[in-house]
Amino acid sequence: MALQSLHNWFRNYITSIKRISNPGESRIENESPNEQQYDIPEAWVNLDELAVTSPVENTEENAIYRHHDLEETRSRQQEWKRHNEQLRRSSIPTATSANNQDKEEKEKGNRVSRLATQIYTLSYLILFSILGTLARIGLTALTFYPNTPVLFTTIWANFGGSLIMGFLAEDRMLFRHEWGTPTYDEQLAQARRAEVDEESGSSSSMTVIDLIAAKKAHLSTKKTIPLYIGLTTGFCGSFTSFSTFIRDVLLALSNNEFELPTTDRSGGYSFLAMLAVIITTVCLTLSALHIGAHLAIGTEKYIPSLPFRFVRKFLDRVVVILAWGGWAGAILLSIMPPDLNWRGKVIFALVFSPVGCLARFYLALYLNGRLSSFPLGTFLANILGTAVLGMSWDIAHSASVGSIVGCQVLQGIEDGFCGCITTISTWVAELNSLRRFHSYIYGTASVLVSLVMLVAIMGGLRWTEGFTSPICS
């Protein structure tokens, strides 16, 4: 329970600071005695959607803003885990450890079990992967039309998903009631009043320390919520698609943008077209991440907060039914006798989308923590999804597929599995959080390795027999 214990540590830190600055007050928050805390597995700290820091600096909080890169965050998490293991193995009881043990035993009865926490999280991932896939397919259909100014279709989905990711990373209002009391915004309001009324330097510095701890406590709390994981890892990760981005790069390089009639052009022009796709996508998505964070800052006064009891008692349980029932319904629709025209465009994608999202989730859990300077789980997810998309594209655009259903299944794999196992939103969030040198290494390696793989898979067919129009198009 690394994240949960980390949150408890920050909460105790805020309490101690508050007691120093206001001796008459014994507590800064009044928690509900019946609050239910999720039992978070320790591996979940490896999700980079949860580990990355705020994308931008809040200019109204210059005094309290402290940016920590992803490597530093990983280092602190690993150091904390090692320290926690040493305390567990230590046979010498202390007053602090005894108090912490009593507190944990007291809260154990009110904590959502680990099994229930995992079920809720997986359910949110399944539901939001379906919704993200629907949003991506729908937005692509709306933004791809004759004489469209941008030929690579998923650029707007990648932009939108990155924008939402930036908003969720910076937002401190949606989940402010998660532990019974809106700690952070109360501390922020007190700091703002102190800046106006107080002129003492010691009082101001104490307020700064208070706010730093309060902000860290809020962030560590938010990252333990299944709904937040579903919104970031599930929806944003499935709304964006890294594999389709690399496919667009290869099509631009091969002068075959979406099979539109084109004139012959030299290799130099094709190289420039490839750079245009890469530069436009990377710059737009990174900008969207920052724009989303700015929107969260600008709308902080107007963002409503999700009710604590509504999420715990109602939403978590309803989502289990909606997610698994919706996935089962998509599977049933895909095998029903009527050969509907829209089945291959949507239904098969919804069947494969949860598989891709869950695969990316577990790759991040087990591999992202291995190298703090190189998110290995996200990297392998993007590479694997790009390879599968290349193979599916080759089969669908060759003469080997003789049935419409087979072509529709391949299209569903591309839009569903490949679109959800690969992600742009998490990728740009990691690029924004890594140290500059490591960020360039990680970003360049992701694009180059994926592109070389697609050249090997799709290039052979493109530069020999050429792509043919799929029979289900």
**Six-digit token pair at 435?**
């140290």
Q: Specify whether the CB–CB gap between 239 and 160 falls below 8 A.
A: yes
Residue 372: per-residue pLDDT: 81
Residue 429 domain-assigned?
yes
pLDDT of residue 377 exceeding 50: yes
Q: Is residue 101 part of a domain?
A: no
Residue 300 has pLDDT above 90, yes or no: no
Q: Residues near 307 by Cβ (< 8 Å), separated by ≥ 6?
A: 177
For residue 112, give the DSSP letter.
Answer: B
What would the pLDDT profile of 303-337 be if each residue is shown by its tens digit? 888 888 888 889 999 999 999 999 999 998 888 75
The CA distance from 294 to 56, in Å, is: 7
Residue 112 lies in a domain: no
Q: Identify the weakest region by mean pLDDT among 78-82, 395-399, 407-411.
A: 78-82
The answer to whether residue 469 sits within a structural domain is no
Angle between the N-to-C axes of helices 436-462 and 425-433, in degrees from 0 to 180, rounded to the nearest 10: 150
Classify the C-alpha dihedral 69-72-78-79 as positive or negative: negative
Helix (H, G, I), strand (E, B) or coil at 38: strand
The answer to whether position 98 is within a domain reads no
The average pLDDT across 209-214 equals 56
Task: Copy the structure tokens of residue 21.
Answer: 């600055």
Q: Does residue 362 surpass a pLDDT of 60? A: yes
Band the pLDDT of 184: cuts 50, 70, 90. low
The residue behind tokens 């510095």 is 205
pLDDT tens, 86-113?
Answer: 665 665 444 444 455 544 544 454 567 8
Name residues whose C-beta falls within 8 Å of residue 233's C-beta, 6 or more positions apart in sequence.
47, 49, 125, 357, 360, 361, 364, 426
The helix or strand, by DSSP H or E, that contains position 212, with its residue range, turns out to be helix 201-222
39-53, 254-268, 396-410 — most confident range: 396-410
Q: Is 412 contained in some domain? A: yes
Who has greater pLDDT, 413 or 73? 413
Within a domain: residue 458? yes
DSSP class of 113: P
Please report the pLDDT score of residue 295 as a whole number.
93
120-136: per-residue pLDDT in tens? 999 999 999 999 999 99
- Could you give the number of structural domains in the chain? 1
pLDDT band for position 190 (cuts 50, 70, 90): low
* Confidence at 354, pLDDT banded by 50, 70, 90: very high
Q: What are the φ and ψ backbone dihedral angles of 356, each rounded to 5 degrees?
A: -65, -40
Q: Which amino acid is at 98?
A: A
Give the Cβ contact number of residue 310 at 10 Å: 11
Q: Please, what's the largest Cα pairwise distance for the chain?
A: 81
pLDDT attached to residue 70: 62
Q: In sequence order, which ranges of 339-375 are alpha helices (DSSP H)? A: 348-367
Looking at per-residue pLDDT, the higher value among 454 and 46 belongs to 454
pLDDT surpassing 60 at residue 272: yes
For residue 26, the enclosing domain spans 2-87+118-462
Any domain includes 304 = yes
Which two structure tokens, joined as six digits, stand for 67?
Answer: 């940016």
Instruction: Give the predicted TM-score (pTM) of the model.
Output: 0.79
pLDDT at 371: 83
- Is the predicted pLDDT of residue 260 greater than 60, yes or no? no
Residue 29 has pLDDT above 50, yes or no: no
Q: Euclidean distance between the first and final Cα of the chain, in Å? A: 49
DSSP labels, 75-88 = HHHHHHHHHHHHHH
